[in-house]
Amino acid sequence: MLNFWPVYKREVKTYFQSPSTYVVLALFFLIVSLIYQDLMTVFSSLSASAGQQSMFGQTNQAPNVTDFVIRQTFQILTSLVMFTIPMLSMRLVAEEKNRGTFELLVTCPLGDWAILMGKYLALVTVGLVIVILSGVYPLIAWWMGRANGAAPEWPIVVSCWIALLLIFSAYSAFGVMASSFTENQISAGIVTLIGLILWNVLGVFQMEKYPKVREILTEFSAGEHTENFIRGVLMLKDFAFYILASFLFLFIASKTLDARRWRI
Amino acid sequence: MAINKSTNSIKVVFRMLPVVGVLCLLGGFFWAVRQARFDPTSYTLCGVGIALFLTLFVKAEVANLKYYLHVFVYSVLVLGICVIGYLFVKQYAQKVDLTKEKLFSLSDQTTKYLRQLKKKVSIIIFTDNPAPFKDIENLYNGETKELGWQYHNAIKEPMAARMVATEGTVRNGDIFIKSGENSKRLNIAELAGNYENVLTNAIIEVTRDRKLKICFLGGHGEIAYEAPEPPSERNQRPKASLSAFREFLTERGFETAPLDLAQTGFVPKDAAMIVVAGPQSDLFDSETKQLEAYLKANGKMLVMFGPPAARTVPPMPNIKKLLADFGVDAPDELVLDLFSKQLMLEPYQPMIYTYDETSPITRDLSARGQRYPLSFTRPLRQGEVPSEYEFKALVKSSPQSMSVALQAVYNNEPVKPMNEGPQILGASVSSLPPPQMPAGMPSPPQKDMMRLVVYGSNDLIENGFLGTHQMAVELMLDTVNWLTQQEDMIAVPPRQLEGTPIILTGAQLRLIFVFTVVAIPALLFFGGISYSLLRRRT
């Protein structure tokens, strides 16, 4: 398992030499930036109207940049990851199987876990790049508000980064699992997308007659566990949820690869 | 040959599975449309449909079925282990609140109280959506195991509602906090401003052994203590009564009792507070002496004036003198507020416009700054306040208000403004608080203090008004809590997000647009593609 380095290096190289990665990243940041720009415009007008009202002696709480802009931006970022992962993960195992290079890979002295971990961590590295690039939004808010001392709360920003990285990791594991099921990239992408959407909307189902079922589904819904992070609350159970989910998906992927040894 | 045949037939069945999946999916949707909502049947059909449809992407390798089964069994086993692991970790509600204002944590006072709580407390919430309460439940349950939370829908579970409340109607939005025989009723709206303050104090109240007794003075034409008979004629207005206010107090853990001071001749020893609600005639001399002595011996009293029932304004020298001795003047005047006219109200309905920020009674209300009208309100003034007491103007009318002679209004005579500007509509007088000790020194024990609150209108506790204005409910609750000097009550200040306004100029907004919407995606797109093309060439 620990000798994943060669696979990881090769996958990272493939990701960052592939134009599709940059197209996906550019699209991802274009959408987030459009929303961010809109949030900043609304925030500025709210700040101005709160200022005007306080001048006329009326009480109106001025908005908070972390609450209004940063939290919402990261909410969008974490939601968009759901649509980004299928595009990045679909080729991971499926392409190798399709091209026939997978047999070559498994003949190397590497275990299934090493292969999977190399591929998975390469995808998480792309996630890390997204996390680093997302730092630009709180930085702009800090730059614009520094004159008024209106800086974002950096501990909450860190919490949002952790959320982004954890959710990216869990979704990546799901993507790797889906990719290991099939030889067809498109199928892998569709399965990942449908799976991630279903995993996210688990708690949304209206089950008025069965509140307990709804409670359980909500508890195991992916989106439910990012809320605490985005609010600035780090909870042990949320960390455990994403780490265990990642482990589970990678385990299923490894078992799926393992099954090929026995297939007729 | 026979094996090949059966293998082929299994393959055919396997190929049919995606089609069956699509049919199941359609069936699920059809069922949902028929039921006008998604129910477990439609969810199951859709789920099975998706699962079967996905078999389209799985090769029909029947011979390898047992290996797939092997993967499935192992996966389910590990899923179970992961779920158990997660549930185990979930038990330990370890968390770090990174917000500056600690918005998602309980205050130190609440935490300390909950940790030493020894009595079982049930918190029964009537709602159609328990989700917003789950966070609060987790916060409180993280500190104590004594709290039991129940959620019911008052519409769908009328029996549960009937079992919880012996009298009155229970609606969604009602919250009952019970411990042994004690019970307290709250409303979700009361939690809106500062849920922790309200909820923790409710828990303290129901776990307290002794109930505080509030006595309502009678015998001078005050608002009826008992609920009145319903009006005999359709157009007749129901008589004013204190029944709603009394119910409100009972639900909050107080005990109420009528008091005929002229008959008994003394104030009961167990009286936590005396209420004089809208007297129409003056107090007797003996009563005045009793009440003065009671107040001077650190008693608590709430006095509220009502509109005169007759066309002649009754002189009330004894009440006025009693109040004047403590620094509150209540002249025979009426507040007219021109600001009310802007809101399509009558000028004799003055607005509660400003709240005293320093008084514990109005501090929270002041932060919210909501306004509401009273009617026929006497203005109050600060008189000669004895040195050992402190006077506070709790609520004032708008700057566009004035006071006029009450009798002139009743005589329909032209009125002359007697005092222009904001009028005091409610005031408090109390013994001076003990001096603040320097940091690190133990604070002296809280002694019993004289406390008096006077309002120029009895609207605030009258049946018709109390239930319709949430602000009146809160103002009266804070008044009663302060008067009864419940110092063991926890005062958790409302935690609000600090405003961090950023006002951007047009140029700054353009800069943000160019940098985020144009530069970053363009850099990623063109830079990335150029880099990958270059790498491929080399």
The DSSP secondary structure of B385-447, one letter per residue, reads --TTEEEEEEEE--TTEEEEEHHHHHTTPPP--SEES--EEEEEEEEPPPPPPPTTSPPPPPP
Q: Do A30 and B521 touch (CB under 8 A)?
A: yes
Among A47, A58, A198, the residue with its CB nearest the CB of B502 is A47
The alpha-carbon radius of gyration of chain B (Å, integer) is 34
- Mean pLDDT value of segment A159-164: 95
Instruction: Report the residue of A233, A234, A258 to disrupt the B interface, i.e. the one with the largest count of B CBs within 10 Å.
Output: A233
Tokens 């800069």 — which residue?
B511
Q: How far apart are CA B465 and CA B448, in angstroms?
A: 32
pLDDT (tens digit, 9 = 90+) per residue, B411-455? 777 778 888 889 999 999 988 876 665 555 555 545 678 899 999
Measure in Å the smallest separation between the Cα of A170 and chain B Cα atoms: 14
pLDDT at A122: 94
Q: Which residue of A has its CA nearest to B134?
A: A215
CA dist., res. B252 & res. B255, Å (int): 9
Provide the pLDDT for residue A57.
47
Q: Enumerate the β-bridge partners of residue B335.
A: B403
Q: In the prediction, which pLDDT does A246 show?
A: 95
Q: Using pLDDT thresholds of 50, 70 and 90, give the confidence band for residue A40.
A: very high
* Burial classification of residue B258, based on how many CB atoms lie within 10 Å of its CB (0-12 exposed, 13-18 middle, 19 or more buried): middle
Are B524 and A25 an interchain contact pair (Cβ–Cβ within 8 Å)? yes
Beta bridge partners of B213: B255, B271
**């970053």: which residue's tokens?**
B520
Residue with tokens 């859709």: B46
| pTM for this model (two decimals) | 0.65
pLDDT of residue B440: 52
Per-residue pLDDT of A95-151, as tens digits, reads: 777 777 777 777 777 778 888 899 999 999 999 999 999 999 999 999 988 877 788
Q: Dig out the tokens for B421 from the structure.
A: 């500007």
Query: Using CA atoms, how far apart are residues B231 and A161, in angstroms rounded to an integer?
Result: 66
Q: How far is B517 from chain A (nearest CA, A)?
A: 5
Query: Which has the closest alpha carbon to B229: B219, B217, B243, B218?
Result: B243
pLDDT at B456 over 60: yes
- The answer to whether the CB atoms of A150 and B500 lie below 8 A apart is yes
A50 interfaces chain B, CB cutoff of 8 Å: yes
Q: What residue has token string 């919430």?
A: B125
- B536 at the A interface (CB within 8 A)? yes
Asked whether residue B205 carries a pLDDT value surpassing 90, the answer given is no
What's the pLDDT band for B488 if we cut at 50, 70, 90? low
User: Does residue B373 surpass a pLDDT of 70?
Assistant: yes
φ/ψ of A219, rounded to 5, equals -60, -35
Helices first, then strands: H and E counts in chain B:
19, 20
A254 reaches B (C-beta below 8 A): no
What is the 3-state composition of chain B as percent helix, strand, coil, each rounded to the nearest 5?
45, 20, 40
Chain B residues whose CB is inside 8 A of the A61 CB are 496-497, 499
Q: A165-169, B315-319, B519-523 — which is least confidently predicted?
A: B315-319
119-148 in chain B: CB under 8 A from chain A: 130-131
Say if B30 is an interface residue toward chain A (CB within 8 Å): no
Residue with tokens 């509140």: A211
Residue B63's pLDDT is 60
Structure tokens at B416: 């002359």
What DSSP letter does each residue of B476-489 carry, written as one string?
Answer: HHHHHHHHTT-TTS
pLDDT at A94 over 90: no
Mean pLDDT throughout A37-66?
Answer: 78
For A153, which of B86, B100, B151 is closest by C-beta distance?
Answer: B100
Cβ neighbours of B411 (radius 10 Å): 13
Dist CA B19 CA A235 (whole Å)? 44
Whether A228 contacts B62, CB under 8 Å:
no
Average pLDDT score over chain B: 81
Contacts of B368 in chain A (CB under 8 A): 59
Put simply, whether B37 touches A (Cβ < 8 Å) is yes
Residue B440 C-alpha, separation from nearest chain A C-alpha, in angstroms: 31
Residue extents of the structural domains in chain A: 2-21+64-259
- Asked if the model's pLDDT at residue B25 lies above 60, the reply is yes
pLDDT value at A82 more than 80: yes
Q: Which of A218, A231, A248 sits opposite B82 (nearest CB)?
A: A248
Confidence of residue B535 (pLDDT cuts 50, 70, 90): confident
Span of A78-92, B12-26, B78-92 with lowest mean pLDDT: B12-26
Helix and strand numbers, DSSP H then E, in chain A: 13, 1
Cβ-Cβ contacts under 8 Å for B312 (sequence gap 6 or more): B407, B410
Are B500 and A64 in contact (CB < 8 Å)? yes
- Tens digit of each residue's pLDDT (9 = 90 or more) over B325-354: 999 998 888 888 888 877 777 888 888 888
Q: Where are the beta strands (DSSP E) in B285-324?
A: 300-304
Of all residues in chain A, the one with the smallest CA distance to B157 is: A209
Structure tokens at A124: 């998480």
What pLDDT is recorded for position B84?
Answer: 92
